[in-house]
Structure 1
């Protein structure tokens, strides 16, 4: 298409690689990786980024432009400062940092941002279309799951798309929705200002691009609207409603025209009515799944205690899961059987991106983030591009609203969309500062050019080595998990040992490894591995594994502490208490066994199940057994022998 006739071959390679990345990254799910819905997206992203970097290096080597200009926006500077703080805080201010897929993604996303900042302005339109197409693919996939043509990735939900549950799937669709709706509503402005159709393309090219820019977003809007309600994600619904209202208002100015024609009193009354409607809507959303809402409120309550204990630097990037469950256990150990017991569960995320960010990066990190967000809000552009900036800002707001009640910062496809939008905002900024300006001749001889090329080359080599190791490591990890599931513990342990050097600081890996060792009877090794795992993650199941190994080693006091800690983490669970009864029975602590058994029998059931019924039945059997043994130990005179 003649729209790209002035682009170099390698620039076209960069744009094509990015288009494929944005199009396919949400759909990647390579089943041979452990936790495939997450890890396979990361591996695909890194491979695509390496290829894109290769094209960038070749483009720089062959650059024949007459003038090279480096312009920097405030966003560029502020985002760099934020990245530096997060990295320094993670590696120097925290006692432990561990292996983190999220941090690897953060570095990759930072590189992606730099690449996007060097794109020509009209190239972003094609990336927005790629995002919209990816949303259409995911909406179609979700529809087929609802119709039972494809299975869900979660046993508890019928629709997940290529994600691990409906939450992130709905968040991704919501992010795509605002882009699709904004592109559709402002298509004429985008066609005119970013594609320059009036004098840059042939009549055939104009017509083709016009149809693409009109019908692809429209198909995206319709397909997402049909699927999103089935996800039952209230956060995504709220995000979509707010973004839709804002985009429609900016496009048609209905509310503004009404307010301009009414008196001050009527304006205040109308605004009050709108706030009442919003309040009633939030109240209704809260009560749709009240238990889930109360659970989130409880998580935020506990997380504030983490923030209070680590106010300035937090607990470190991606370290929320290493601390939260200990705080929850401590809360219930202090407060006992509160009504919150019924809404507490195992938690990996804070279900609020901003609260989790503060808990991990402290008030200093929050200050930097607020400055970044304020700078985004204050970004201005030329009059001809203001409509596109509205779409960008509203789409960012969509993800932010979703992030108030979920965890979009752990979902790579959503983060990629965010990076694209922020890079667009920086490109649109009309107040950029020219950092470096060189002519062709000077630039060809400049050491800066060669330094940048060397840095890119070394980055490609280092990244390729890492990705190859991760690719092999996740496959072996998955093999070990499958062996464990088939009770081939020896093969599982051998697999874990093979990739231990790579994942020795990954809490989830160490937890899986520790379980295999415990089940295989290698309890000393299991205790060592599980104790190491607790440095990076601590959940109910990890404490149970630790308790099992201590019990097998006859270290009953330590086993009791582990089981008790597991019980305090999620007090509604029956299994840790049942294990305590078995421990007391084995160690001859009959009084404690009977007291714990009575606690189980008097315990409220959160979710009725066959497992709970079996535990209660077994508990009654244990009580009868203990009481029978006690009676047989008594003499005919009633004296204990």
Structure 2
């Protein structure tokens, strides 16, 4: 009977991997839909776990290895930074995700507590994990060839995501693991044959999709993961040590590898230089945040809230390269997760996170023959960890929930199989387990209420956006007001709400909401809307400041400059209006459009 319960729980647990497939049109975006699905599944999963702990009649012994402790330290530091970060509430979405993922880490680890693949519970989870990867690759191929009704509006291939970068990063988190199972499994047992061939199918399907996406950093990520598996399988390091035995030969090999890597990077850069240059700009601006907050960081989950303010300061500081001006845009992520962690959590946060990566990849020395024979899962998981880390140097893999879930799953496998050295061991008596279970039950209940209320508020937010797009502003404002108390700490929500109030002519109310949004959002659109509302109530000084801030955030945008010219004309500052109009006429927009031509035509008429 207990075996059946374990299998039922494994099936339930496997549903968490299907988070990636969730899209819901009545929520603001696909990541929000995925997050709520993840929350609802988590409520069910953790309720089962709480009931199991409450019913436990034996003493529970818990052993933590160094990787476990490092993860707990990193989580604890995030919690402390959250407490001391202004404008970020305790029920912050990112922190809730980290908390739930920490729980999943220990659940997965308990299931994979030894290296034996021959276990139904493990097989169910592994098949689900690989199937999700294959499924996403399949959807991408359907989108590319526009068959079976799969298509995307803007990017051609996005899987179940909204942009290519998040889709590609998710695929990368699975493919090296799939390759490892395909190459390393030799056992002819039925379950091993299933995993081997499923790994092969998932990996090959990924090889079809990644060249289509053309995310160069993810190509490097896959190569890194594959090389790791091949080095392990063919013992390449030992063979190279035999061939390149002298220091001169080893130095020559090292120089050759570095030179080859440099040439590959240069070649990949030249494929899409604008994209690479844009990332370099982001990293420069992120470095300025780090300079201001080197030890403890700017605050938990604050990068996107403040980045554009720093970008504005960057362009104000001195005349910048025209190409930097050309590639500037609104930025929510650093496109380098290590830099983003550094900016938000300081050197302490970055150091603790890097220790987790090193501990996960570093091999445990053992003479256990059984361990060596069942090391396939751990090695494959390490290959995917390497892939995710490489990918995260150019994108934002650790900021995307489905990819982060995969990362946690892989870490748990490594911890369960590869890290046998116990660091801390303690026991919890059944009576204390019941107390812990009751406290956890209360927390789950409160979390459930919060999730339901937040879900309803997000549905109202989406309704408000739709009504606003239809120019039914009064109805839109009603739905925004319904959601305000729940979403008042969401910068994007406040931006949308304030923008709709501004469009409806309720400018004083719009200014109140948008000024609050400035603490939680740094988009140039926010400052354009503020400029509009201040101009509408004839507060030209603040209007000019807002428009100027919008211009400095993204200097290549014409619209903020155009609106500032109109404000100058309204305020009878004709000379300033003409000077800025001349700049607009002589400038080149990032994307040529009919709007650009109309703006320049109107500016020419003003000059004439």
How far the C-alpha of 1:232 sits from its partner, in A, is 1.4
Q: 1:304 to 1:152 in 2, by over 3 A?
A: farther
Name which of 19, 27, 32 aligns with 2:21.
Answer: 27
How far the C-alpha of 1:58 sits from its partner, in A, is 3.0
Aligned to 2:227: 245
Contact 1:26–1:162 (CA<8 Å) still a contact in 2? yes
How far the C-alpha of 1:377 sits from its partner, in A, is 3.7
Name which of 123, 146, 165 aligns with 1:148.
Answer: 146
Q: Does 1:482 align with 2:482?
A: no
Q: How does 1:449-464 map to 2 (within 5 A)?
A: 449-464=433-448
Aligned to 1:431: 421
Q: How does 1:405-416 map to 2 (within 5 A)?
A: 405-416=394-405
Q: 1:374 to 1:139 in 2, by over 3 A?
A: closer
Q: Does 1:417 align with 2:411?
A: no
Contact 1:170–1:228 (CA<8 Å) still a contact in 2? yes
Aligned to 1:15: 10
SS of the residue corresponding to residue 25 of structure 1 reads: helix
Aligned to 1:74: 66
Aligned to 2:47: 54
Aligned to 2:602: 618
Aligned to 1:168: 166
Aligned to 1:96: 87
Per-residue CA deviation, residues 18-50 of structure 1 (Å, 9 max, x unaligned), is 21211x111111111112x10111111111111
How far the C-alpha of 1:370 sits from its partner, in A, is 3.0
Contact 1:174–1:398 (CA<8 Å) still a contact in 2? yes
Q: 1:55 to 1:356 in 2, by over 3 A?
A: same
Name which of 250, 254, 261 aligns with 1:271.
Answer: 254
Aligned to 1:573: 557
Aligned to 2:34: 41
Q: Does 1:210 align with 2:225?
A: no
SS of the residue corresponding to residue 313 of structure 1 reads: coil
Contact 2:53–2:434 (CA<8 Å) still a contact in 1? no
Aligned to 1:300: 283
Contact 2:185–2:376 (CA<8 Å) still a contact in 1? no
Q: 1:151 to 1:523 in 2, by over 3 A?
A: farther
Partner Cα distance (1:120, 1:81) in 2: 22
Q: Does 1:184 align with 2:177?
A: no
How far the C-alpha of 1:83 sits from its partner, in A, is 1.3
Partner Cα distance (2:595, 2:88) in 1: 37
TM-score, structure 1 as length reference: 0.88
How far the C-alpha of 1:154 sits from its partner, in A, is 4.9
Name which of 111, 133, 137 aligns with 1:119.
Answer: 111
Greater CA drift, 350-359 or 276-285: 276-285
SS of the residue corresponding to residue 448 of structure 1 reads: helix
Partner Cα distance (2:66, 2:353) in 1: 13
Partner Cα distance (1:303, 1:29) in 2: 31
Per-residue CA deviation, residues 154-184 of structure 1 (Å, 9 max, x unaligned), is 52x1111111100010011111101101111
Partner Cα distance (1:12, 1:64) in 2: 21
How far the C-alpha of 1:373 sits from its partner, in A, is 2.9
Partner Cα distance (2:558, 2:398) in 1: 33
SS of the residue corresponding to residue 345 of structure 1 reads: coil
Partner Cα distance (1:120, 1:388) in 2: 10
Q: 1:370 to 1:533 in 2, by over 3 A?
A: same
Partner Cα distance (2:376, 2:150) in 1: 40
Q: 1:436 to 1:91 in 2, by over 3 A?
A: closer
Name which of 363, 377, 382 aligns with 2:347.
Answer: 363
Greater CA drift, 227-236 or 539-548: 227-236
Q: Does 1:603 align with 2:587?
A: yes
Partner Cα distance (1:295, 1:322) in 2: 19
Q: Does 1:498 align with 2:467?
A: no
Aligned to 1:373: 357
Per-residue CA deviation, residues 326-353 of structure 1 (Å, 9 max, x unaligned), is 1111111221353211121111110000
How far the C-alpha of 1:385 sits from its partner, in A, is 4.0
SS of the residue corresponding to residue 521 of structure 1 reads: coil
Q: 1:377 to 1:176 in 2, by over 3 A?
A: closer
Partner Cα distance (1:251, 1:126) in 2: 26
SS of the residue corresponding to residue 103 of structure 1 reads: helix
How far the C-alpha of 1:258 sits from its partner, in A, is 4.8
Contact 1:172–1:414 (CA<8 Å) still a contact in 2? yes
Partner Cα distance (2:320, 2:391) in 1: 32
Per-residue CA deviation, residues 365-404 of structure 1 (Å, 9 max, x unaligned), is 1232233333324452643444432222221111000000
RMSD over aligned CA atoms reads 2.0
Q: 1:310 to 1:68 in 2, by over 3 A?
A: closer
SS of the residue corresponding to residue 111 of structure 2 reads: coil
SS of the residue corresponding to residue 63 of structure 2 reads: strand
How far the C-alpha of 1:254 sits from its partner, in A, is 4.4
How far the C-alpha of 1:120 sits from its partner, in A, is 4.5
How far the C-alpha of 1:62 sits from its partner, in A, is 4.2
Which structure has the bigger radius of gyration?
1
Contact 1:25–1:44 (CA<8 Å) still a contact in 2? yes
Partner Cα distance (1:167, 1:59) in 2: 40
TM-score, structure 2 as length reference: 0.93
Q: 1:427 to 1:585 in 2, by over 3 A?
A: same
Stretches of structure 1 lacking an aligned partner (at least 5 in a row): 192-196, 198-205, 625-641
Q: How does 1:501-540 map to 2 (within 5 A)?
A: 501-540=485-524
SS of the residue corresponding to residue 118 of structure 1 reads: helix
Partner Cα distance (2:271, 2:174) in 1: 24
Aligned to 1:631: none
Aligned to 1:630: none
Aligned to 2:204: 222
SS of the residue corresponding to residue 436 of structure 1 reads: strand
How far the C-alpha of 1:137 sits from its partner, in A, is 0.7
